[in-house]
Amino acid sequence: MGVALAGLPMLASAVCVFDDFGDIVNPDDPSCRDVQLTYTRNDNTGNNIALGFDVPIPVDSLTGIDGFRSYQSLHERHQSLDAASTGVEGVIVGQTAAGRDIWAYRIGDTNSSTVDGVTEGAALINGTIHAREWQSPEAVTEVFEQLTEIANDGGFGQYLHENFNVVIVPVLNVDGFLQAQRFPDRTTASELQPRDGRMRRKNMRHPSSGGVVDEDIDLTADNFYGVDLNRNHPRGFGQNGGSSNNRISLVYRGPQPQSESESAALLAAADLGPANRLRMFTDAHSFSRIFLAPLIGDNRRDAITRDLVSVMRSVLNGKYRYGPSTNLIGTTADYFASTLRIPSWTLEIEPLQPGDFGTDHGHSGFILPDSEVARMRDEIADMLLAGFYTQAGKPALRAARIRDAETGEIRYDAAWVAEGAGRRLDVGINRALVPGRSYRLWLGFNRPMRWRNAQGVLTNYRGLSVPVFPYIRLQFPALAATSDQTVSGDALSWRTAIGEDGVVRYSDDALETGFIVPASFPAATPVAMIVAVDARDITGSRLDADPATSVNWSNGHWVGYEDEDGSPTDLGGTDCSFAPFVASDPTSPAPAAPDGCRETAVTPPTTPPPSGGSGGGGGASLWWLPLLSLAAVLRRRRW
């Protein structure tokens, strides 16, 4: 007996019949197979479906518009960015069943090392694996555009360009996307489960011939065919109720894992990273405003994934939710999480639920109004750029300098320099700081530590919050803790230009501020001083507390990223490596340097990230993750 799809009441006029899994059981019945439906603004009569807004029609435009661009325009835009930038490498990574090229673009400088001399990390973004999800190619194209636009900004963008690679596949399911755009206002079969035209989900592979299904929406015998490319991977293939072996199912997984040319193309795109340097994978979809993140039982990798998602969710003030799951079902995110042990997720772009911007007819969430597209693109780009910065590396102090504020004489100058696979602290100058005198402290970091808006004003990155000035404490371990002194500063402390005590390489990667050694300071004999610095970078990561070891990524976690106790916690800590000294006699020799901090400096509290729960309200989407199984939730969302 047929049932309504995933518990939804069957419409009186419905002629497609569904089984308990949600698959259509009468695909050969002309009264189901040959039904054509038309999307309109307000007309809901007959076979019309009213959206409640104008039906989006693809527009030919090389630049972003408030609406959706045609595939040809998107492709030409990608090609123009490739041609115009030495930092972009476009590569054909495969062909579709119809023989169309699948392109990937690697964005970043041409070498394989960071400015610090360690191996560069990379991220992979996959777009448009499901043909009907037009939000995806628009969002990833915006990321592509922004990365090239900010590559020479002298700060955040240049840092990413020189220290991180981003590989983007804007449209993986080219055949299906073109089919969806051929018929922007028409679909087939059932309002509960529309199939071809605008609502095609799968690729265009014919399961019997191995060729392609026809592109004519009026010839509907094969409108149910194709493979769900996001169920075609080996990790979870055919498991946990998330896919089907029924060839007409919306979630037909294919005959075997990675059977499809598009799946092979995605693996080839990963090799541009290359794959062993990937630190982050995003598969951009719509809809439901959630990060569907596979957990693999690796505590460190799973915790890093959670914290990284928290950063990105904070960028949009918790607008997106976090949906962790251990139920792998053969998605791309399942594959990269399990195989490469990197933070991976299916990013479901907005809307949150059907009917947010118009009527609720079950699949309205897959159609975003033109008026929301430009805003959506910018938000997703901002969110992912924050993720890239977080995974590009971790902040570290590289150098410290102290000058006499009156004479300009350098009294202390030290820097971490490369030595073998690590670093050693090179102290070039270490002369006594004399009580009663004022000094200027300059600190140089390995990355931009603060964000500036388009007007050059120091501010927080969108949605995030870090102190303007780090917590800096001058500690004297040989004396009582009451002798310690906190160093203050403000936004003007951060350097933006090259020059004496200016930037190291990027805007806001160095600061300069003042302090006074009190005249009453007890320094009859030389007293060692520790410059204890607890700084957070743009997205809130703490310093690598042991710069002697280079920070890198391996096997699902950070290596060489320690706290002040030397523990590899993936959380960082307080740097206490710079140790000048105070003495009444300016010619006194330096005492032995202390071994680490007297105490852990604690950064003043920042705005907490959004909670890890899925949040949201009721309806037909992913509200109850992770309380429900992922497969059951997806069925409620009509896949």
C-alpha span between 29 and 36 (Å, rounded): 14
Long-range contacts of 585-594 (CB under 8 A, 24+ apart): 585/432, 586/431, 586/432, 586/434, 587/432, 588/432, 588/525, 588/526, 589/526, 590/430, 590/432, 590/526, 590/528, 591/525, 591/526, 591/527, 591/528, 592/528, 593/528, 594/477, 594/478, 594/528, 594/530
C-alpha span between 409 and 401 (Å, rounded): 10
Cβ atoms of 331 and 322 within 8 Å: the answer is: no
Confidence of residue 437 (pLDDT cuts 50, 70, 90): very high
pLDDT at 56: 97
C-alpha span between 485 and 47 (Å, rounded): 75
What residues contact 340, with CB distance under 8 A and at least 6 apart?
270, 275, 276, 278, 281
pLDDT of residue 429 exceeding 60, the answer is: yes
pLDDT at 608: 46
Amino acid present at 323: G
Q: Which residues pair with 531 in a beta bridge?
A: 474, 578
> What confidence tens digit (pLDDT) does each residue in 494-518 have?
999 999 999 999 999 999 999 999 9
pLDDT at 363: 84
pLDDT at 600: 55
In the chain, where the domains are located: 71-392+622-636, 397-582
pLDDT at 84: 95
Residues in the chain: 639
Q: State the average pLDDT for the chain.
A: 91
Confidence of residue 635 (pLDDT cuts 50, 70, 90): very low
Specify the higher pLDDT residue, 428 or 634.
428
CA distance readout (Å), 266 to 69, 122, 292, 636:
23, 15, 19, 28
> What confidence tens digit (pLDDT) does each residue in 112-134 have?
999 998 999 999 999 999 999 99
Q: Please give the CATH architecture assigned to the domain spanning 71-392+622-636.
A: 3-Layer(aba) Sandwich (3.40)
Helices of type H across 49-120: 71-84
Q: Report pTM.
A: 0.93
